[in-house]
């Protein structure tokens, strides 16, 4: 249930950014640490259980988690950069 709530909050943040609302900045700042903890915990568990490259599926999964973390950080920086344009 907590991951569903986190996902819905991220969707609300995306909609807020899309419509240019100020609450999106605060939601992004609030949710960023939770998103990074989720990604890093999942990556640590995956590496501990299956290793970095035990097969192609695991390698793609681990790479997707790293790309997700990078996208999360870039998204936060973009929202912070546009904070003056949000109403």
Choose between 85 and 42: higher pLDDT. 42
Segment 12-21 shows an average pLDDT of 92
Question: pLDDT tens digits for 23-44?
Answer: 999 999 999 999 999 999 999 9
Please tell me the pTM assigned to this model.
0.83
Cα Rg for the chain, rounded, in angstroms? 15
Q: What is the structure's pLDDT at 82?
A: 87
Indicate the SS3 state at residue 46. helix
Q: How far is the C-alpha of 35 from the C-alpha of 66, rounded, in Å?
A: 12
pLDDT at position 64 over 80: yes
């Amino acid at each position: 249930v907590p991951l569903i709530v986190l996902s819905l909050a991220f969707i609300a943040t995306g909609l807020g950014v899309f419509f240019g609302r100020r609450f999106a900045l605060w939601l992004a700042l609030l949710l960023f640490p939770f998103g990074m903890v989720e990604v890093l915990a999942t990556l640590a568990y995956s590496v501990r259980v299956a290793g970095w490259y035990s097969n192609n599926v695991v390698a793609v999964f681990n790479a997707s988690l790293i790309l997700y973390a990078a996208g999360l950080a870039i998204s936060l920086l973009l929202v912070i950069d546009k904070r003056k344009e949000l109403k």
